[in-house]
A and B are shown apart, each in its own frame.
Chain A
Amino acid sequence: MRHTISVLVINEFGVLSRISGLFSGRGFNIESLSVAETLDPKISRMTIVTSGDDKVLEQINKQLNKLVNVIKVYDFTDEEHIERELALIKVTCNADSRAEILSIVDIFRAKVVDVSPRSYTVEITGDEEKIRAITELLRPFGIKEIVRTGRIAMARSPKQK
């Protein structure tokens, strides 16, 4: 099963390699990874997408917590949360296809962020499913290049009763 894990770490050189080394050294899987500073510049947040059974995830969680630089580990899986990725998709276009591409972009509430005579570059944010859906719809026009970020996630606030 796939899990999205958030790891708060001390923002020091080498901390990324400690985390990635832990995963590779123990045979854990990283499907995606994104890292950035938090509001406190001394602390970074890593969002890691990984997979494994409960036993593997328990070890991932414990092993991450054991690293001296790790402050907190949080698994979003059983929690209401928001997940987002961002993708830039450079799609081939011509006079015949422009309108149709733009309408797909519109339907997905994506944006065209660069235009050339033969291509659009589309920016899309959303969960993995949404990005896959637009990719599939744009594929027939000819995708020249696609760049995706790793996933980021945030827990939803508790709802008022």
Chain B
Amino acid sequence: METRKNGAEVFLECLLKEGVDTIFGFPGGAVLPVYDALYDSKLNHILVRHEQGAVHMADGYARATGRPGVVVVTSGPGATNTVTGIATAYMDSVPLVVFTGQVPTALIGNDAFQEADIVGITRPCTKHNYLVKDIKDLQRIIKEAFYIATTGRPGPVLVDIPKDVFTAPCELKYPDKVHIESYQPNYKGHPGQIKKAMDFILSAKRPVVYAGGGVILSNAAEELKNFTTKLNLPATTTLMGLGSFPGTHPLFMGMLGMHGTYCANMAVMNTDCLIAIGARFDDRVTGKIDEFAPYAGIVHVDIDPTSISKNVRVDIPIVGDVRDVLKDMIRLIPAQKELKAYKDGLKDWHNQLKGWNDTHQLSYKFEPKGKIKPQYVVEKLYEATGGDAIVTTEVGQNQMWAAQFFKYDRPRTFITSGGLGTMGFGFPAAIGAQIACPEATVIGIAGDGSFQMNIQELATAVQYKLPVKIAILNNMVLGMVRQWQEFFYNKRYSHTCVSVAPDFVKLAEAYGAVGLRAKTPAEVEGVIKEAMAVKDRPVIMDFRVDPAECVYPMVPAGQPLNKMLLV
């Protein structure tokens, strides 16, 4: 006779039915039943060294594949340690389902051992969350959690499951369908608005495409390329949008915003038609909001109505899935003759853009006998991989140089914490991406400050023999904060020197990883070559870079985009 299953066993079965292959987790008292069931399960479980790492790994996994990342942690501190990871995913609209153990239902509210009100804590940083109070709701809630996380504007969903729910007897009955009366995302753009937008775009003389992370989330890179190239529109992307449009395409002007290119920012400040696609007018993109795109009529395509007219007034809003809407817009592109006339009309604009592009390009001063320039390292990484890599970043200068000096031709190849700006994200995200894409070259471009924020995951990477390549742009300072202190705080470098740090080469070796170091420009390529050859364990490359180097261009906070500091 078959023994009856318990909640924990059914929980794992549900994950398999949902198509989950890998979960990231860390055991503890409240999830012991799950870990017991996991002992016999086909699910691939990645044992992390800190719960924050688990969430960032799941996040990297999700961003690299488009599939939801799944996390299992215990109650109390296990749950609270996930908060930064969840908030990171929420800001960047990444589909995650985070399962937290909870103390038994009878103890909830009693200040029990390892009890935390994680549903209360994560309410503002999840798309939705649940406390499963009764075993009979478990399977429906799991189904709903995956549905909510992956549909509409994606986001993290947390499901809090008390220990007695995991141990309760249960029969597998995973629902096929979801119906949530109050949650019905809209995918199809309004045809009238789409027509209006196209008429406006086709009447424009100085149009610009401004694409964001939404293009990647909706798998619309192909459509975006079609739309943009057919109309011969100049394109810029946000940090989150890098890879949504080919970085090597002649129509690509580079990133816009605080550290955007001169050309992209000037284009936005002079356009008469800004076509925002899956972007949300973040303050790092707009600069001074009152002076943003002053001559532009704005078309905004976004699946989330709250993004529209939140920061800037939008003239033609289209609520819908970026891919669906772009397909509809492409259908309205006119036939040859009219199209040619339109493209001819854009010639002056393209000449103007070329002028701006010639005026100032991303650059740095290479000194063969001097210190290593961090931008040089990024360029050499690009050359070594031919761009065929997944790049994750930490936050700060390393992130901006990775955005500026590596070219991303494909979506899901640039993974960064854009919204929340979480230091410590990049390394675990690289691990998640490597697990999702075992054949890919995964490079974590890091700062020495950020890397130390989740350094413990080296053990995870070694345990699972993951050949992630971590390139530390080691300037021994918290570079971006230091840069602000240099520019705006009279060079009072308050607490931004972190020169007391481990020897990263020895540290790598202590963990069983490979450690390499370059101190001069001449050593850079050799180190990268050596790192690329390692296939069975992580590599840390310690590039001792020039600490005085700053990220340019820079639009000081609160200034309009055309007020760039160029050198």
Contacts and interface: CB of A to CB of B under 8 A. Distances in A.
Nearest to A55: B309
Contacts, number: 38
A131 B446 CA distance: 63
25 contacts: A9-B182, A10-B182, A13-B131, A14-B123, A14-B131, A17-B123, A18-B123, A21-B123, A21-B124, A25-B124, A55-B309, A58-B309, A59-B306, A59-B310, A62-B305, A62-B308, A63-B306, A65-B305, A66-B304, A66-B305, A66-B306, A68-B127, A68-B182, A69-B182, A71-B182
A71 B182 CA distance: 4
A14 B119 contact: yes
A66 B186 CA distance: 11
A74 B365 CA distance: 59
Nearest to A12: B130
B310 A68 contact: no
B148 interface: yes
A27 B183 CA distance: 24
Contacts of A21: 123-124
A70 interface: yes
Contact of B181 (A14, A63, A71): A71
B288 interface: no
Given A63-B306, A68-B128, 12 more contacts: A21-B123, A22-B124, A58-B309, A59-B306, A59-B310, A62-B305, A65-B305, A68-B127, A68-B148, A69-B128, A69-B182, A71-B182
A17 B127 CA distance: 14
Interface in B393-446: none
Interface in B107-140: 119-120, 123-124, 127-128, 131
A63 B124 CA distance: 12
Interface of A: 9-10, 13-14, 17-18, 21-22, 25, 55, 58-59, 62-63, 65-71
B544 to A, nearest CB: 43
B180 interface: yes
A58 B181 CA distance: 23
B120 A17 contact: yes
Q: Chain A at the B interface: mostly helix, strand, loop or mixed?
A: helix
A14 B148 CA distance: 18
Contacts of B308: 62
A65 to B, nearest CB: 7
Interface string B476-500: 0000000000000000000000000
Contacts of B148: 68
Listed residue (B182, B308, B310) with the most chain A CB atoms within 10 angstroms of its CB:
B182
A-B CB proximity, top 9 nearest = A68-B128, A62-B306, A71-B182, A62-B305, A68-B183, A25-B124, A63-B306, A21-B123, A66-B306
Interface string B160-191: 00000000000000000000111100000000
